[in-house]
Amino acid sequence: MKKNITLIALFISFVSLTSNAQDNKWKTDNSDSSKFTKTFYNSRLINFHTVEVCNKRTMELRISHRFGAINGGPREAWGLDGGANIRLGLDYSFDGRLMVGIGRSSYQKMVDGFVKYRLLRQTKDGYTPLSITLFSSAYYINLKDPNKATNGFDKYEYSPWSRYSFAHEIIFARKFSDKFSLQIAPFFIHYNLAEKITDLNDVYGATTAFRYKVTNHFAVTGEYGLCFNKYSRDQYYNSLGIGFEIETGGHVFQMHFTNSTGITENQYLPFTTTKWTNAGVRLGFNLTRAFNL
């Protein structure tokens, strides 16, 4: 509990120190703001990537945190004492179309890197009615096999490639009005090593996400991921998150509830182990800070 309180205090301090240090980098997209539509404020919503990329010559520092499940009850301070997951990431775009990023998550000691390319962008005159962005990512599990001490077998020992997995998405989005934006993204995830002999190496499905602007600086958000194939005999649940985001100056603060522990696509889309119906949800937040380079 003390560790989580310290972390929250550091985040609040970070917000306070940076709130007036830089002008808003999400309202416009540099030289293209008069022609194109800004569908979402940020390149991520809750867990999911959005159709957006960083502005031209902009780097974004992103801190994402998920507490434990609320159904831990008062003994676990409704998740604040529970096992938490944090991801630190850096994203950058030189031209406002191609974006690259790296990150590291505490859960599974996951290291990830991704490439995002803005293929089409919705125009204000309606000539291009929607935005399309391509996304590909690679993940590396740096965690030691937790069962090696008991069975003497390391599932990763034969090849370092067994630690890798990959995700690919095509993100379609449209801003239907000044307030409401919606996106749909078919996805495909491949694991070089399946967790069990009965599991499949490939998972596919689709995600959807929305943003509803309440004021110029406050919006309600939501997202849902659906897996189409039966890839495991174990019971997993679809990822569902709801929340809100606040834009103030050079950063965006997002707070939400989600049933997913993982923050990367290969974790939360196929392997969400808790559900909303028994309060298996966790409080989380993302803090994004933009820098011009």
- Span 166-174, mean pLDDT? 98
CB 103 within 8 A of CB 264: yes
Q: Using 50, 70 and 90 to split pLDDT, how confident is the model at 31?
A: very low
* CA–CA dist 160, 139 (Å, integer): 12
What token pair was written down for 243?
């929340």
Backbone angles phi, psi at 161, to 5 degrees: -70, -20
User: How high is the pLDDT of residue 58?
Assistant: 94
H runs (alpha helix) in the chain: 2-18, 148-151, 265-268
Shortest CA distance to 147 belongs to which of 196, 107, 198, 90?
196
- Token pair 């992103």: residue: 62
Q: Give, in order, the Cα–Cα distances in Å from 7 to each of 13, 45, 77, 140, 154.
A: 10, 21, 16, 25, 34
Question: pLDDT at residue 16 above 50?
Answer: no
Q: What's the pTM value of the predicted model, to 2 decimals?
A: 0.86
Question: pLDDT at residue 251 above 80?
Answer: no
The SS3 assignment for 11 reads helix
- Span 220-236, mean pLDDT? 96
| CATH 2.40.160.40 correct for 2-12+23-278 | yes
Question: pLDDT at residue 29 above 50?
Answer: no
* CA–CA dist 93, 274 (Å, integer): 35
Domain ranges of the chain: 2-12+23-278
User: How high is the pLDDT of residue 229?
Assistant: 96
At 45-71, the pLDDT tens digits run 999 999 999 999 999 999 999 999 998
* CA–CA dist 39, 23 (Å, integer): 20
At 103-120, the pLDDT tens digits run 999 999 999 999 999 999
